[in-house]
Chains A and B, each alone.
Chain A
Amino acid sequence: MKKPELLAPAGDLEKLKIAIIYGADAVFIGGKEFSLRSKASNFTMDDIKEAVTFAHLHHARVHITVNVYPHNEDLEGLEQYLIDLDSANVDAIIVSSPFIIATAKRLNCHFELHLSTQQSIANVEAINFWADLGINRVVLAREETIEEIEKIKESTNVPIEVFIHGGMCSGFSGRCTLSNYLTLRDANRGGCAHSCRWYYDLYTNSQLLSSSDKPFRIGSKDLMAFESLKDLIDLGTDSLKIEGRMKSIHYVASIVSSYRYFIDYYYDHPDCDIDALVKECIDMARKAENRDTSTGFLKGQVTSDGGLYENGDEIPPQDFIGIVCGHHEGLTLIEQRNYFQINQKIEIIQPHQEATIATIKAMYDINMTPIEVATHAMDQIYIDLQGYYPDYAIIRKAE
């Protein structure tokens, strides 16, 4: 059995480090130019260099999203940007525009070229078209079933990347201009306003068919693929991709951990009780996942179960208290994210380990003055956990 790459999103350097430490084999990040998800923090070239250095030290790969469809006025600066990425020693770029592909080939860039899901590639003939042009990997459209992905794998040697978790376009990615039309934000240049998640009225001629308490919706639940993960691994999927460069470090750590755990456990115990493993991993992921989820198209045509229809689809996750950033005389220093009090029961998650339950017995501000409550996000606070927890351990309120 081949272990697939686990590919995680990173909106900034901190998230990148978290993703890698928590088990991602590769991360994808956006630069300041030519990248979708413009609201993600995105990386300067110096950040990219630091990211690559950190990732390579940890034997992880860095993929850069260069996946816009540029308009004529956006083409300027492309060559230098690709040259700079090559100098930064990135491992791959994720790309949609054939001109960007051709430019990278002409410049003899060393990085791999991964075709973005924005090209909505859904069959092996389309894969082969791009493979002939030198594409090293194809990110499949999210409309494929397990059966179809298996047929694709049987028909091509081109490495295949499949989305397993996160937000999903309701339509074919790259083929949507709802955002452009409704808000003048270009979805294919990083400005998507997620108009497919809005509320609509449905009419036939002038007769209203929907109602205020049952608005017409076209949006998709997020993807969560644990139920199909064994099949994706068995059929030889080369890379499993988590979406969400704008998500928090708590989310990145929790979701990466849960998929890392599944892949490693199944690899080591191929005859294990899969249903139990799936349930365990869903429970792990649910502590950080605040959206309704489905398996998308992996099990077949999306039914009403895969759509967003009612309010309240975002369930509050367990409160993320902070992240460990140092130690002093037996105390743990954390950078705070949410309000908490002394005697708070907490859950501590660490890379490659089961979560630990503990109670905050004492806490001090940065000047070692005892405090009872922590109220300000980003403050640094010492807490007494009667144990050692390494940097980047994530602390959240226990249920």
Chain B
Amino acid sequence: MKIVTTPYDISDLDILNHADAYIVGNSHYAVRLAHSFTIQEIHDIIDKGHLLGKEVYISINKIFVQNELEELKTYLNAIEQYNPDGIIFADLGVLNLAKKANIVSKLIYNPETLIVNYQDMNFYLAQGIKAVIISKEVTLENLKICGEKANGNVGILGHGYYHLFYSKRKLIKNYFDYYHVSSEDYISNYSMYIKEHTRPEMFHIYQDENGTSIMSSSALSSLEYIRDIAASGISFMIIDGIFEDINYLSVMVDSYYVVLNNNKKITTDYFALMYPDHKYDSGYFFKKISIRK
């Protein structure tokens, strides 16, 4: 199983050397990035990644409204010149544009919530794309079924905070505007949280030019299950470093690397001991989500 992660700087590629691929992006075209790179920085990271024998994927995972299409086309043409190894997208308009540009084989579809069964997964793979990423809200059992039945490359979020909500609305700004208070300090700020009145968990909330995202309160850890998941046929895992730093991320990448490749047994308790300010969970691996109310 390949490890894919999210550097914060070009120099991080040397530190994250146990990863097989890196995800980079610019916040004008992507949401929930660990770090927003300039176009030139993206170009440089691709070149350096290739020198190191690694793959580099560019994330353009926002939903594009009609008025943003021309800009998207220009961006796609520009980044294609840099020869990325993958383009992560969430809007099927990107797939249609990629058909015209003959770059469908580089696409990785990650709609976050829409791929929850193996039939839909294989439908998207049959479009000729490089890979799909299974949604977080499937059980471990279903994830393994997807791996077993995959007709192509399938990835998962293996570690990190996971997406709960994505709005085009500027919800932090709107709230402060309503009460005539300046919101300047709280926009594009990774230290924002919300807590539902009756629950203890603090969820990450983040607003930038593309809208507002809400992320989980605990980080997903799949350390105990990742070998089984790999054995089922899932081909890569993402270790997402959003809200973290390079020291933390390098420990995560190295830990999963030794579990996957050296058959070492490390449990999530190890993470919890090292990072007592962090909370970890197993996502939806064992949660029974009800269909009905």
Interface residues of A, Cβ cutoff 8 Å to B: 38-39, 68-75, 96-99, 102, 119-126, 128-130, 141, 143-145, 147-149, 151-152, 170-172, 174-178, 180-182, 184-186, 188-191, 193, 195-196, 198-205, 209-210, 214-218, 220, 297, 301-304, 306-307, 309
Contacts and interface: CB of A to CB of B under 8 A. Distances in A.
A189 B291 contact: yes
Nearest to A208: B195
A145 B114 CA distance: 24
Nearest to A199: B197
A201 B205 CA distance: 11
Contact of A186 (B67, B97, B169, B290): B290
Chain B: number of interface residues, binned into ranges = 35 or more
29 contacts: A68-B291, A71-B117, A71-B138, A74-B291, A75-B117, A97-B117, A99-B120, A125-B92, A129-B96, A143-B65, A148-B66, A170-B169, A175-B113, A176-B165, A177-B163, A181-B164, A184-B290, A185-B289, A190-B293, A191-B289, A198-B197, A202-B194, A204-B185, A218-B167, A218-B169, A301-B169, A301-B170, A307-B175, A307-B178
Contact of B91 (A99, A123, A204, A217): A123
Contacts of A145: 65, 67
Chain B interface secondary structure, helix, strand, loop or mixed? mixed
B27 to A, nearest CB: 17
A123 B164 contact: no
B267 interface: no
Nearest to A68: B291
B114 A151 contact: no
B167 A304 contact: no
A283 B4 CA distance: 56
Contacts of B93: 122-126, 129
A217 B197 CA distance: 11
Interface in B146-160: 146
Contacts of A214: 179
Interface string B51-94: 00000000000011111110000000000000000000011111
Contacts of A121: 92
A130 B191 CA distance: 39
Given A125-B92, A172-B63, 11 more contacts: A69-B114, A98-B120, A98-B124, A171-B165, A175-B90, A175-B112, A176-B165, A191-B291, A201-B197, A202-B192, A307-B169
